Chain A
Amino acid sequence: MATAHADEKSFLAGILRADHRTVARAISEVENETAIGHAIMRGIHPHLGRAHVLGITGSPGAGKSTLASELIGEFTRRGRSVGVVAVDPSSPFSGGAILGDRIRMERHALAERVFIRSLASRGHLGGLSRAIFRVVDVLDAAGFAMIVVETVGAGQSEVEIAEIADTRVVVCAPGFGDDVQAIKAGILEIADIFVVSKCDLPLADATELELRYLAGLKKGGAGAPPILRVTATRGEGIAALADAIESARGAAGRRRQQGARERMRRLIAQEAGNAVRDCLCGIESKTLDELCAALARGELGHEEAVAAAIQLAVNGGAGSPRGKDKSS
């Protein structure tokens, strides 16, 4: 216990000095939800809330990583330190993952005030890893002024980024009908800034026009999110985008404070859901087996079965009289 306490203290000191090795290890601890990870989260709590968290989302191949790389360059030129969390999907079959977003950010690998971490989604739906809140908090405590979160790019379920980012950038590449699909399904609501990427391609004008039309529908034209054109491979439009991100900061900070309680509630609900799932998938329970059999035979409705299963999980899997009564 004494060594655990010493560990915690040296972790905290290392994080606050932004020592790369310590920050990297702390991220693993909080990602893996270890005891020391929980202690780190408690320790850094007084040091949170200083960073500007920027979320970048959009369909796979839209150019998120390339854009992130250009923004890292622009913000470091402006004297900011930048932390990056790049999320890639885990394989649903093996649980493994290939994390390749860094390839596009290679030229920043040795920049002193840049720290890039790849996260696997680990089966968590919504495009962000389950641990992402904690990882962002560690980078915040380490004093990174700008934290860029790049999502999986799964499209419709990316709305979760609204929870974590102060400023949300939605990237749309020309010629993807899919982007409009994603916009219909909720990304339009979360965008603070739209970026039309790859503007050297011929369909860029059409994509921009489509976005203007949709954004105009959203808020009757007034206060609609800005739409910016970028050709990241040539560095065009990056400075204007960085300006728009920085000027979005003020409103974002206020929203973050207002949303804190709501955000906490959603976070707790999500974790509670995970706990129930882990319990129900992990326990040996005759009651649960009987419940599933009754559901399969059609003797029990879906909602009744779910209610009984939740009861079972709350009781720690130690039997659920109500579920039994219903099925007998």
Chain B
Amino acid sequence: MGAQQRKIRVLMGKPGLCGHDRGIALVVMALRDAGMEVIYSGRHNSPESLVEVAIQEDVDVLGVSILSGGHLGLCERIARLLRERDARDIVFLAGGFIPPEDIPKLKAMGVREVFRDGAKLEDIVRYVEKAARERAAA
């Protein structure tokens, strides 16, 4: 029996108290339509549970959507947990209402890329595909 083609697996979730999930739903569907397997963990996830779920689901990419303004604290905690769990190889992406001046801070924490409001779905899909491919090759 030949090996199955490896599917890109992505965990998408919303950490913190923000309940606006229209944006993340669009991204989830766009990734699905690009042939990826997307685990959607819904709203109000804790950073701890997002990291544990990312590990159990063996995902290539963890994407979070934050529109509450809490992105610095939440992403810092997620990045730290990924380091502690020896899971830095999981590509960590963030999106939502994020002021441009916070992007360098997020990247310094370990967020690989930031997609602000207005980002194009095609660009997100292309980025996820590329990052997952590079991760598989590493």
Contacts and interface: CB of A to CB of B under 8 A. Distances in A.
A98 B52 contact: no
Contacts of A33: 1-4
Nearest to B60: A28
A109 B49 contact: yes
B42 to A, nearest CB: 4
Interface residues of B, number: 35
A21 B85 contact: yes
A20 B55 contact: yes
B35 A95 contact: yes
Interface string A74-105: 00000000000000001101111111101100
A102 B53 contact: yes
Nearest to A93: B33
A24 B1 contact: no
Contacts of A115: 56
A21 B2 contact: no
Q: Is the interface of A mostly helix, strand, loop or mixed?
A: mixed
Contacts of A95: 7, 35
A97 B40 CA distance: 10
B29 interface: yes
Nearest to B6: A32
Contact of A96 (B38, B55, B86): B38
Given A33-B2, A106-B42, A274-B1, A120 B37 contact: yes
B87 interface: yes
A25 B1 contact: no
B2 A99 contact: no
B48 interface: yes
Interface string A98-133: 111011001001100001111010100000000100
B89 to A, nearest CB: 11
Nearest to A101: B39
A217 interface: no
B81 to A, nearest CB: 11
B32 A96 contact: yes
Nearest to B41: A102
Contacts of A110: 46, 48-49, 52
Given A24-B55, A32-B3, A96-B33, 16 more contacts: A23-B56, A32-B5, A32-B7, A33-B2, A33-B4, A35-B3, A94-B34, A94-B35, A96-B36, A98-B28, A98-B29, A100-B39, A106-B41, A109-B53, A118-B37, A122-B7
